[in-house]
Amino acid sequence: MPTSYNDANFRLQFPAFANTVAYPTATIQLYWTMGTDYISSYNGSYIWNAAQAQLANDLMCAHTLFISTNVANGQSTGVVTAATEGSVNVTFMPPPAKNAFQYWLSSSPYGMQLRALLRSVASVGMYVGGSPERQGFRKIAGVF
């Protein structure tokens, strides 16, 4: 299901990026195209529909734009749990994540929404019944 960048819809969905001076169309389109490298519109069995694929790519674009803007402004993308001024000490709370990709998605509100969308609609691949781990090992009584 191919998707494409739609500037009017993106800015309507994400009002934080509505300012065309701060976020020119060419810049957003660059981040949108970059985001399509992270999310494949083919998920093994086409479980999600075109609208969900479009939303996933739009959320990835908003996520990368959010992080990029924060970094450019000198802001952190994590939740600060403690800070000290003398000899500068800052502690961040890690989000509950099983891997680096989940942690990265948890660093923006758009990434967390994308993570929820991916968990609910993305397929983990094709699988047709049976127990593939037992194909190489015998069960009780020597049967496969």
Is a pLDDT exceeding 90 seen at residue 66? yes
Please answer whether residues 134 and 140 qualify as being in contact, where contact means their C-beta atoms are separated by less than 8 angstroms: no
Please answer whether residues 31 and 64 qualify as being in contact, where contact means their C-beta atoms are separated by less than 8 angstroms: yes
Residue carrying the six token digits 């970059």 = 34
| C-alpha span between 123 and 22 (Å, rounded) | 36
In terms of Cα–Cα distance, which of 62, 73, 69 is closest to 113? 62
In this structure, what are the phi and psi dihedrals at residue 52, rounded to the nearest 5 degrees?
A: -70, -40
| C-alpha span between 140 and 127 (Å, rounded) | 25
SS3 (DSSP) at 30: helix
In terms of Cα–Cα distance, which of 7, 32, 29, 33 is closest to 18? 7
pTM over the 0.85 mark? no
pLDDT at 124: 54
In terms of Cα–Cα distance, which of 70, 61, 66 is closest to 28? 61
Residue 41's pLDDT band, with cuts at 50, 70 and 90, is low
83-99 pLDDT, tens digit per residue, is 667 777 677 666 666 77
